[in-house]
Structure 1
């Protein structure tokens, strides 16, 4: 390898920093204190009665899609053959983000799946998997990737958020052209970063985090009009409740530390579920009063937990991440 190529390789790896670390740690899993019951080679499909997630239990099936009954998350997990670094599903549509091995700079396959988890469409996009969601009507999939190479990325990486319309095949590789208004004025900046889209039930209204100049804003947007307005600050990775009344999100309290928070969209009142640990992911709603999310454990892997808006957190699935409830 030439000295120039070696230096370029080292520079790119340094820039990726935490993005690569997240995927590698989430893929590899770790030694478990107690054996996790696993049934392998199982057929998988989207089912409202089933929770799907990425299996992180130590072994050859780590990183593959797995499932447990919603009514019994402690049951033996059924593990299929689909490997994803991020996964989400709704109304018969799923998205699987998969980092392409050996790609430098990193590339990700964005794979759209049907209700039987058969591939419908695939795009290869620059970046490392970060977030994935499907609109409640199943018509739009969206993703966020960590990317390198943007001149304004002083922190070493930036994000790129895109959309794909399942029916029409329309691909929006980045939503950076979204017309956004902050404090009543059209907002322009060279350092715009969007991440963590969540759609309303109509498939048109959506919310997304905008990061710029050291601040994060919650943007409420109209997809057809392609226009958005900042309605709150210090909101990251929003998740809209099924009834459309609340946004759950991660609220920054210190560098590298976020608290789970809930914003009432009618009153703009902010409350905090009784979860004191740092949450670094986009929460998922289970109904309108429970949140599901991964938490890093003492083995430096992830477990899936749930918490009520006023009731204590409880462990749902050890050695697992990227939960999807599929409704």
Structure 2
């Protein structure tokens, strides 16, 4: 992930990883019900709408929805606040951090009410829901892994089947195959899950030995295999044929990231028209367009979009928004 962000948040994560977190609707959470509860006019029912986390000063962190055909028009604002969010199939996953620095992943239903809570020991980074709404995934930054001497950031990524309750707290427990050979190393890390329509296959980023790989995963078999290098934060297209992703410029994250699209059938890579540094996991607005957020100033971000075929120019979609998702 980005070196600039990791340095900036090291102090926060060090505290967050030691905090106590609760599971379920315990009495201690009742006082916080207003933070993740009934959302009024904001729901996860089918669109055409865009949902995002607001970065506007008046409602920073709250979930908002806008018309997909007129995103510059009026926005509905929810009392629900998240640090990272994603929605699909009427299900949401909201990663959030409380004032006491405890962190949790909250599974939301169509009315943005809590269905399930998962304790997360780290700083929220990425969130994803499968197209059906059944599977959810999260990534958090953590510190203290023995191979880093406790000095550097690593990531922890988990997946949950919201229908059965089956899940894994970390993909590091999966059997790994690198270039066709079984692989094991203490420094294996994962982030940026994206799901296929079958609710079993997924793609993610894996790092080990100073290299970053796109991996193809099997949830039921608890396995991942490498596909290619220098692919981060993949996002599977609605038709399941392509992956939007970010890649480090010249393989060096310190030089920033650029957006591209990988054709899974041909392995052809198309560089997109966005030439700015994009440190985000893009989403597909439709089969022709990807969206992503870019920071602006201090604490603000905007959502932009660009054609997925490499043509055109970036277009501003939503001012003061991040973690965009499409309510199809």
Partner of 1:54: 53
Q: C-alpha deviations, 1:151-177, integer Å up to 9, x for none? A: 123662110000111111123111111
By how many angstroms is 1:43 displaced? 2.2
Partner of 2:240: 244
Partner of 1:315: 316
2:92 to 78, 94, 103: 94
1:158 aligns with 2:154: yes
1:17 to 7, 10, 24: 7
Q: Is the 8 A contact 1:20 1:128 kept in 2?
A: no
1:155-194 alignment, distance < 5 Å:
156-194=152-190
Sort the Cα spacing of 1:16 and 1:289 in 2 relative to 1 into closer, same or farther, 3 A.
Answer: closer
Q: Is the 8 A contact 2:56 2:300 kept in 1?
A: no
Distance 2:9 2:204 in 1: 20
1:77 aligns with 2:78: no
Distance 2:103 2:148 in 1: 20
Sort the Cα spacing of 1:22 and 1:249 in 2 relative to 1 into closer, same or farther, 3 A.
Answer: farther
Partner of 1:9: none
Aligned partner of residue 17 in structure 1, secondary structure: helix
By how many angstroms is 1:301 displaced? 2.1
Distance 2:298 2:8 in 1: 18
Q: Is the 8 A contact 1:261 1:272 kept in 2?
A: yes
1:266-285 alignment, distance < 5 Å:
266-285=265-284
Q: Is the 8 A contact 1:42 1:78 kept in 2?
A: no
RMSD: 1.9
Partner of 1:125: 120
Distance 1:42 1:54 in 2: 16
By how many angstroms is 1:20 displaced? 6.0
Q: Structure 1, unaligned stretches of length 5 or more?
A: 1-14, 24-40
By how many angstroms is 1:42 displaced? 4.8
Distance 2:11 2:92 in 1: 25
Q: C-alpha deviations, 1:87-118, integer Å up to 9, x for none? A: 11111111000012233xxx311100111111
Which TM-score applies when normalising by structure 2?
A: 0.85
Q: Structure 2, unaligned stretches of length 5 or more?
A: 14-38
Distance 2:92 2:297 in 1: 31
Q: Is the 8 A contact 2:130 2:196 kept in 1?
A: yes
By how many angstroms is 1:247 displaced? 0.7
Which TM-score applies when normalising by structure 1?
A: 0.85
By how many angstroms is 1:149 displaced? 1.3
Distance 1:263 1:64 in 2: 33
Partner of 2:294: 295
Distance 2:125 2:86 in 1: 12
Q: Is the 8 A contact 2:10 2:153 kept in 1?
A: no
Distance 2:183 2:215 in 1: 12
Distance 2:110 2:10 in 1: 30
By how many angstroms is 1:299 displaced? 5.0
